[in-house]
A and B are shown apart, each in its own frame.
Chain A
């Protein structure tokens, strides 16, 4: 029997609103193995792509920045988390004049929301808004089928290309 919650059960529990209760029973051993693998990928591959990685207070989250040759956003702030439910979540926050793309700050929030929902239809990344209404691009890996090293590298390679999408959002912010 697995000691960790499979991603699907997480989906079940998240959608049924009981995720936090179950999560309390989850040991961190598997998460530690996964975060170590992520660090290994990022050290070997991420720096080559000009990402700057940092540890944060949460031991299962890695922060990164990317600012090379961007046209529309100043930089991307990236959080990669290994969840209790054995998923890897990428969250990529574009920055607009030093701040996030916040729905409350947008001049045309409805247009902004619809555009990013359309991006989620067309693009590799999905788009979402966090509890502060800051908009980010995301990608989630389930680990049911193993650690997806090659796919993670592809996500890293794709992050800079989000810049062109961000360019389409700027008209809704100013």
Chain B
């Protein structure tokens, strides 16, 4: 029997409101192993080196990075990679617009922006989401049921800078 909560079970538990209970059965050791593999990958994979990943000072299972080279639209991309208690790896990429997150409270046309984000989520590699502060981010979630997806993670990392183009399409709706 596996010691960790599987991704699907996490989905089940999250949606049925008992995620916190399930998380207690998880072991930090498993997360730590995943985090170490992830950290090794991020340190060795050349495109990731440009993102200057380092362990978060506040969240032990977060690895944070930033990318600001050759961007036309976003001032930078803030990247948070989280190894969850549910055996998933979540990438969150927050585009910065003039030095701040894109926030639904501040954009000029929030309704059109949200519709654009939902359409992009249909067509693109990344999906879009909004956090509790109404900041907009692009995301991708890996389940680990079938092992550590090293090659697929490489691909996500390579794709992160290309989010700049999507940010450009959002620009008229932001200001």
A residues near B (Cβ < 8 Å) are 6-12, 14-17, 103, 109-110, 113-114, 116-118, 120-131, 133, 135-136, 138, 140, 142-151, 153-155, 157-158, 161-162, 164-165
Contacts and interface: CB of A to CB of B under 8 A. Distances in A.
B131 interface: yes
Given A150-B146, A151-B145, A157-B12, A8 B130 contact: no
B12 A158 contact: yes
20 contacts: A7-B125, A7-B155, A11-B125, A114-B104, A121-B130, A123-B11, A124-B15, A127-B127, A128-B118, A128-B127, A138-B122, A140-B125, A140-B140, A144-B152, A145-B147, A146-B146, A151-B143, A154-B11, A154-B145, A158-B15
Given A118-B129, A121-B131, A127-B121, A6 B155 contact: yes
Contacts of A138: 121-122, 127
Contact of B11 (A114, A127, A129, A161): A161
Given A110-B114, A123-B15, 4 more contacts: A121-B130, A129-B115, A145-B147, A148-B143
Contact of A103 (B115, B150, B158): B115
Residue among B110, B127, B139, B166 with the most chain A CB within 10 A? B127
B130 A117 contact: yes
